[in-house]
Amino acid sequence: MTRHDADNASRPVLGGRFTFPGTELTVQRMGYGAMQLAGPGVWGPPRDRDAAVAVLREAVAAGVNHIDTSDFYGPHVTNQIIRQALHPYPEGLVIVTKVGARRPPDRSWKHAASPEELTTAIHDNLRNLGLDAIDIVNYRAMGAVHGPKEGSIAEQVTALAELQRKGLIRHIGLSNVTADQLAEAQTIAEIVCVQNNYNLAHRDDDAFIDDLARSGIAYVPFFPLGGFTPLQSSILSSVADRLGVTPMQVALAWLLHRAPNILLIPGTSSLAHLRENLAAADLTLSPQVLEELNGIVASTMTATH
């Protein structure tokens, strides 16, 4: 047993464990997303930096060993807070970042995906996180903002593969991509995870998730609770009331039940919300409840057509 294995074996189990394909990186399925540690609009410092540090430290103390971040959050802010809170990093902590965008002074989100821009972004992440190499880097295709759009990503994946050969990146993932883009990327490098928009009410990736599960590739839903428009459903609220938990806890638990390769990274800057999110990993949903919740996407589609 390696030190990494021993460390993971001693952690509380948060929704089960998952090992990224072709790696020795084993994580709890309930992780943490750092985007909300930045200021309003994911820009500038948080109102309370000490509170942000406390959230990170409690997450790791509770067993979280998968943190998702990006140096364009802030920009630079979340990575600097992660370093302040957790460096030197505990054994077994897996930090995943993403590249492909930048934040100019007007606070917009701009595509930044040339090989030169991706290289700069990797060095920014390394510097602000205080790392010599990053465990996993996702290329975040801008696509249709919060949804993918077909088009070649070979140039970007090739650039990341070169940085991997140089030892700056250990493993490569993709974000906001289609199945065809994944297939193209796999001709260039091994892909260990896909991070796309998915939740109870937004299930365009159902078939994609099942295909990835058969291949052992992780699927990490962003906006697992609806993102900027939080999930609202009478079905969800009814189930939560019956179980004596919050609707968001039910939504997270549903994702853990949905497929064994789904890894969660809900974000928060609140200790109370962090504890609620982590508690969702212990929530068991019966087959009857799961069937009821699966009806949410049908009702959502009916309401929007």
Q: Residue 260 is which amino acid?
A: P
pLDDT band at 82; cut points 50, 70, 90: very high
Residues 6+ apart with CB under 8 A from 238: none
Query: How does DSSP assign 149-218, residue by residue?
Result: -----HHHHHHHHHHHHTTSEEEEEEES--HHHHHHHHTTS-EEEEE-B-BTTB-TTHHHHHHHHHHT-E
The more confidently predicted of residues 147 and 190 is 190
219-256 per-position pLDDT tens digit: 999 988 887 677 888 999 999 999 999 999 999 999 99
Per-residue pLDDT, 211: 98
Place of tokens 């999110």: 277
Question: What is the pLDDT averaged over residues 2-28?
Answer: 78
DSSP string, 245-283: S-HHHHHHHHHHHH-TTB-B--B-S-HHHHHHHHHGGG-
Query: Average pLDDT of 297-302?
Result: 56
Residue 25 has pLDDT above 90, yes or no: yes
Please tell me whether residue 235 adopts helix, strand or coil conformation: helix
- Banded pLDDT at 5 (limits 50, 70, 90): low
C-beta separation of 267 from 33 below 8 A = yes
Count of helix runs (H) and strand runs (E) in the chain: 11, 11
Q: Which domains does the chain have, with CATH numbers?
A: 3-228+260-267 (3.20.20.100)
* Residues with active-site annotation: 73
Percentage of the chain exceeding pLDDT 70: 93
